[in-house]
Each structure stands twice: as structure tokens, then as C-alpha cells.
Structure 1
Amino acid sequence: MTYPLSELTKHIGIAFQGEDLTIDGIHTLSEATSTQLSFFNAEKYLDQLPHTKAAAVLIEEKYAKLLPSHTVALITDEPYLKLALASKFFAYKLETNSEAPAAGEGCDIDASVRFGKNVTLGDNVTILAGCYVGDHVTIGSGTLLHPNVTLYHHTRIGAGCMIHSGTVIGCDGYGFAHTKQGEHVKIYQNGNVVVEDNVEIGANCAIDRAVFGTTYIRKGTKLDNLIQIAHNCDVGEHSLCAAQVGLAGSTTLGRNVVMGGQSATAGHLKVGDFATIAGKGGVTKSLEGGKTYAGFPAIEHKMWLRMQAKIAGLLKGKK
């Protein structure tokens, strides 16, 4: 899908003059190409403005001078809201059409499985009753889908994976812009999910597609039941997440991270390699690898134990 920039700006309510451009997508400042639209709404990304390759950027007037000369400044006092309005134009068009997948040797597919268009299966893929595999999905050799798994369009599953019943991969992330009147406008999630080789995902998990780009579950990772992975997360290789873990958007876990049951992270932070988060731990800032953390907000486990001991001592003292 491509649109003239003049048409996009007309529909989202922004004045535009100058040479018209053809826009084929939306991406972040750092990732946008010369044919894509981007946006700027947070000063922590200020240093990215002079270096963006975006064709045009939704931006407040006071920051527009920081853009490179090749980038068109689309002036607005609501860049995030205008992004949401523009995202609808690039949303994937869903259809009910179905066709047989391109399947390798030895596949075992239940008759009740529903496929979208342009699905590719490796060798010895097993898909049990009630699954839905959407358009342009690829599934690697030796992967098993238990009953009632749903793979949304453009999801990529690696080889040797096991996905348990009720799990949904590629659903929309929870993204909305807000009007001055307090209304919530959907930001269409136009990325995808990639699950690498030898990943096991438990029952009733939800892994959201990226807003732009990709949500990653890296090779060898094992997810328990009832886990939420939000849009644009990157779960590192061989990580372990126990039941009811929740990762907010754009969280990055390093390799071999362990997260105990009901632990969670805030968004846009990083947890280093070989870190452990104890059960019910709440990660509110980026954490170094190689350490164990506990509590809310999560702190080093030894410090948390000392703090609990002091609190218990204070309570005993009051008696």
C-alpha cells in the first residue's frame, strides 16, 4: 500500500505544501526509510532527529529545525494522535479467503484447521484441531501446535517449537493515542511476531505483534502458561518465564533471563543477561545482568531480604 503524502495529510488534518512524496509505511525515527512517515513526541529521542532518514515526520514546530534537509516537517501539536490516524491507512486488510498451505513432507494437519493465504509449513509440522493459521504465516519443521492455537497474519514460527492450547500470537498490541477530549484513538499495529527455533509456549499466552517492526521470542526460550508479551518486546535466547509473567511494551530481556511467577516489567526498559527476577517482582527500571532481584520496585535480592528483616524488626519493636 502506498499513498501520496498530500493524501495522507489531508485525511489526518495537517496542512502540507511542497513536492509530493509517495509513502509506503510508518516507522520510528531511527528505522524509517526515505519512503516512510515517522513521528516525534518524546524528548528522549531528540538526538535521533538530525539523523532520521524518514521522508516526513509528524512534529511540533519548535523541534522542526532539528530535522535533516531531506525530511519534510509535518507540523502539528498532536504528533502521536496524527500518527494513530495515519496508521489506519497501512493496516493489513483482513479477508476470509482460505487456501491450502505450501507444506513440506510428513505434515499432519487436522481437517478442522483453517488457513489463510500464502501459508508455508516445513517438514513434519503437526497442527491439531481448531487452530487458525493466518495469511503469510511460516512455520518451521518439526513444530507442534496444540488445539485452538491462533497465529495472526505474518507471524513466523521457527523449527522445533511447541505451542500449547489457547495461545494467541500476533494479536494487536495495546496502543492508543488520546484526544484533548479524552477519547482513545487506535494505533494500528502493523508489525509482526517472530518466534525463533526450539521455543516452547504454554497454554493461554498472548504475544502481541509490533506496532512497527517485530516482537521477538528468541531461540530456546520457554514460556509457561498465562503469559502476556506486549508489542515490540524482545525476549532473549534461552530465557525462562513462569506463569503470569507480564512484559510491557518494548521491554528487552537479555539471554537466559529468569522471571518468576507473576513478575512483570514496565515498558521501554532492559534486563541484562542472566538476571533473575523473583516471583511477584516488579521491574520499574533497567537492571544489570548476572544478579537476582526481588520486590516492588525490584531491587537486589540480598538488599530486599535485609529490608524485610528490618521491617519485621520494627513491627516486633512496636509490640
Structure 2
Amino acid sequence: MEVPVEQKIPLGALAELLGGRLTDPAKAGEIISGVSSLDAAGPGQLAFLWKEDYAEAAKRSEAAAIVCREPLPGARAPQVLVDDPQAAMLTLLGQVHALRHPPQAPGVHPDASVAEGVHLGEDCSVGAGAVVERGARIGARSQIKGLAYVGRGVVVGEDCTIHPGAVLLDHVRLGDRVVIWSGAIVGRDGFGFVQDAENRHTRIPQVGGVVIEDDVEVGPLTTVDRGALEDTVLRRGVKIDAHCHVAHNCEIGENALLVGYARMGGSVRIGKNAYLLQDAGVSSGRSVGEGAILGTCCHALHKDVPAGATMGGCPARPAMQHRRIEVSLARLPEMRKQLHRLEKELAALRARD
């Protein structure tokens, strides 16, 4: 990653910024202009080592300097020694990101549509083409970016970012530091219908809401449905990737993580610190316990998942059992041939009698 010219910085100053110690003070004046991986880094670029598994790669690296915890004997590049290399990386990348993606200027763009009665907090911003409907409240320093939609009575907390094209439908409530990515739809009516005597489907009015607590992130093209009566709730610290679906009346516990294409039916309960990996699914009314992990393509269809369990397969099974089944499935063609051979041998033995 090449850092723009105005962000270039001497290695010695960078070491001070990260609270580290440079092992070769003679290199303090070398200019750092980018950040990259250990394998890809070259002259003028910084690399990070936070797992000892990659120590040999760090020693071979062509980086201008390596940020790490302990000295690396035999490394060609000088090192910046810090207590926590991963935290140092996040600090540096956070500053680079802030420079590359500055916030919108406070205020309402002339091409935005903001209805009467909207409360705009201090230093918040509304971008070009964004729509904010009557009764909405936008907290201090929050950004409603271009072409985003904020419905009637929506509450957006402080320091939130609603990215271009994101949709917050009526009466959704967001805490502080919430990020809603482009194309996400929050507050759609849940998928609830009843069938009449003539088998026609009639929508059940969904009068609940969506409550999203502090520090939650909702990925692009993800949908979060409002509840039928009670609210759908995303607790503090939940992170949701792209293309996920949270159905009506679900509750996602604190710091739970939903990876791309994870989805669930209505009234699901996900415990705090649980993980739903790629394409995992949870059937309506089921629960996933605290700290549990549903592996890729794992579907909890018929049973609740206990706390701390690691599950795989469809339907969900304990991960070790799922692995044994997968190994056995791979042997089925061979086992089928063996079975046919044994059946022939048994038939021959019976014929002799």
C-alpha cells in the first residue's frame, strides 16, 4: 500500500508515534512511504510481525523496517520494538485511513432533502441526495452520506456513519458509533403472512422496531427486519458482514460476529461472542449459545446450539462428528464396491450349502 506524499514520515518519527524503539538509530532519517505485508514490502515500506510463526519471513523481508515485539537476530531490516505489534498496526492504519477518507464537512448539502422537525446534532453532516424524513434525530458528528435514506422517527446516535445508499426505515433506533454500509436495509417489515380460506397470503402488519446498540457494524447489502410486535435487537459490539439477513424479532448478543451470507429465520437468539461463519444459517425459533461457533455452511435447523459448542454440517452436528462423517462420505464409493463383493462372496458360500 503506497501512502500519499503528504503522509510520508521519517522512520524515527514513526517509531515515536507508535511508542516503540528503533534498533538501528542510524536509520531514523529513512523515509517511510507505505505499509505492506512481510512478503510484499520493499524499500520505503513498513511491515508488521505479531505472530512468531512468521519470524523467518520477517528476517527475509525487503521492508525498510519491521514493527515487532522482540529483536530479530539475522534480519536485514531494522526493527521498531513495541509491546503490541498488532495494536501498533491498527494505530498506524487508522491514521492513514482517516487521512484517506476524511469525514464530510458538517452541515446539510444543498442537494439533500431534510424535512421539517428533524433534529441535527452538533457537527453532523447530510450529504448530497440524502433524505432525512420528519421526526428523525441525528446525533452529534454523525454522517449521513450521499443518497442515504433516514425514515420518519429514526434515531441515529453520535459519531455514526450511514454510507451512501444505506436505508434506515421508519422508527429504527441506532446507538453511538454505529456504521451502516452501502445497500444495507434496516427496518424492513418482517416476512410474516397468514393464509386465508382461499389460500391467499395476507401480510401481518409488523409494528415492532429495530434497536441497534453502540459500536455495531452492519455490512453492505445486509437486511435487518423489524419485529412483528417486539423489537429486533442487535446488542453492543455486534459485527455483521455483507449479504447477511437478520429476520424479525431476532436478538443478536453482544460482540457476536456474522460473516458473509450468514442468515436466520424469525425469533432466533444468538448468544454473546458467538460466531456464524460464511453461509451459516439458523432456523426460526432456534438459539445459538454464548461463545458457540457455527462453521461455514453449517445450518442449525432442528436443535438449539449449546453455549461454547463448535458445530459443522447440515443439519448442525458437533464439529468432530461432522468431520468423521465427511471422511466416511469420501470413502462411500469404495465401501459400496466392497459391500457388493462381500454380497457376491456370501451368495457363493450359501450356494455351496
- Letter in structure 2 aligned against 1:134: G
8 Å contact from structure 2 (residues 213, 234) kept in 1: yes
Partner residue, 2:50: none
Partner residue, 2:314: 296
Provide the C-alpha distance between the structure 1 equivalents of 2:169 and 2:159, rounded to a whole number of angstroms: 20
Partner residue, 2:305: 287
Q: CA deviation at 1:100?
A: 5.2
In structure 1, runs of 5+ residues without a counterpart are: 1-95
* Partner secondary structure for residue 210 of structure 2: strand
8 Å contact from structure 1 (residues 258, 276) kept in 2: yes
- Which structure exhibits the higher relative contact order, with contacts defined as CA atoms closer than 8 Å and separated by 6 or more residues? 1
* Partner secondary structure for residue 309 of structure 1: helix
TM-score using structure 1 length: 0.68
* Partner secondary structure for residue 334 of structure 2: helix
Partner residue, 1:148: 165
* Partner secondary structure for residue 310 of structure 1: helix
Provide the C-alpha distance between the structure 2 equivalents of 1:189 and 1:197, rounded to a whole number of angstroms: 24
User: Which aligned pairs between 1:47-196 and structure 2 lie closer than 5 A?
Assistant: 98-99=115-116, 101-196=118-213
Q: CA deviation at 1:116?
A: 1.4
Find runs of 4+ consecutive structure 1 residues off by over 4 angstroms.
none
Could you list the per-position Cα deviations for residues 110-166 of structure 1 after superposition, in whole angstroms to 9, with x for gaps in the alignment? 142111111111110011101111111101100001101111111001101111001
Provide the C-alpha distance between the structure 2 equivalents of 1:146 and 1:260, rounded to a whole number of angstroms: 24
Q: CA deviation at 1:250?
A: 0.3
Provide the C-alpha distance between the structure 2 equivalents of 1:100 and 1:143, rounded to a whole number of angstroms: 20
Q: CA deviation at 1:306?
A: 1.0
Q: CA deviation at 1:97?
A: 9.7
Q: CA deviation at 1:167?
A: 0.6
Provide the C-alpha distance between the structure 1 equivalents of 2:258 and 2:332, rounded to a whole number of angstroms: 35
In structure 2, runs of 5+ residues without a counterpart are: 1-112, 338-353
TM-score using structure 2 length: 0.62
Provide the C-alpha distance between the structure 2 equivalents of 1:256 and 1:97, rounded to a whole number of angstroms: 38
Provide the C-alpha distance between the structure 2 equivalents of 1:121 and 1:196, rounded to a whole number of angstroms: 15
- Letter in structure 1 aligned against 2:211: V
Provide the C-alpha distance between the structure 2 equivalents of 1:311 and 1:206, rounded to a whole number of angstroms: 36
**Is 2:214 aligned against 1:206?**
no
8 Å contact from structure 2 (residues 114, 131) kept in 1: no
Provide the C-alpha distance between the structure 1 equivalents of 2:282 and 2:187, rounded to a whole number of angstroms: 20
Could you list the per-position Cα deviations for residues 88-123 of structure 1 after superposition, in whole angstroms to 9, with x for gaps in the alignment? xxxxxxxx9932521111112114211111111111
- Letter in structure 2 aligned against 1:180: A
- Letter in structure 2 aligned against 1:208: D
* Partner secondary structure for residue 311 of structure 2: strand
- Letter in structure 1 aligned against 2:218: I
Partner residue, 1:240: 257
**Is 2:281 aligned against 1:257?**
no
8 Å contact from structure 1 (residues 104, 123) kept in 2: yes
8 Å contact from structure 2 (residues 150, 169) kept in 1: yes
- Letter in structure 1 aligned against 2:317: I
Provide the C-alpha distance between the structure 2 equivalents of 1:112 and 1:300, rounded to a whole number of angstroms: 49
**Is 2:333 aligned against 1:315?**
yes
Provide the C-alpha distance between the structure 1 equivalents of 2:263 and 2:277, rounded to a whole number of angstroms: 11
Partner residue, 1:222: 239
Provide the C-alpha distance between the structure 1 equivalents of 2:298 and 2:198, rounded to a whole number of angstroms: 36
8 Å contact from structure 2 (residues 153, 171) kept in 1: yes
Could you list the per-position Cα deviations for residues 72-91 of structure 1 after superposition, in whole angstroms to 9, with x for gaps in the alignment? xxxxxxxxxxxxxxxxxxxx
Provide the C-alpha distance between the structure 1 equivalents of 2:274 and 2:333, rounded to a whole number of angstroms: 35
Aligned residues: percent identity? 30
8 Å contact from structure 2 (residues 187, 224) kept in 1: yes
Could you list the per-position Cα deviations for residues 175-223 of structure 1 after superposition, in whole angstroms to 9, with x for gaps in the alignment? 0000122111110111100011001111011100000010001110110
- Letter in structure 2 aligned against 1:205: T
Could you list the per-position Cα deviations for residues 43-91 of structure 1 after superposition, in whole angstroms to 9, with x for gaps in the alignment? xxxxxxxxxxxxxxxxxxxxxxxxxxxxxxxxxxxxxxxxxxxxxxxxx
Provide the C-alpha distance between the structure 1 equivalents of 2:128 and 2:336, rounded to a whole number of angstroms: 68
**RMSD of the alignment, in Å?**
1.4
* Partner secondary structure for residue 194 of structure 1: strand
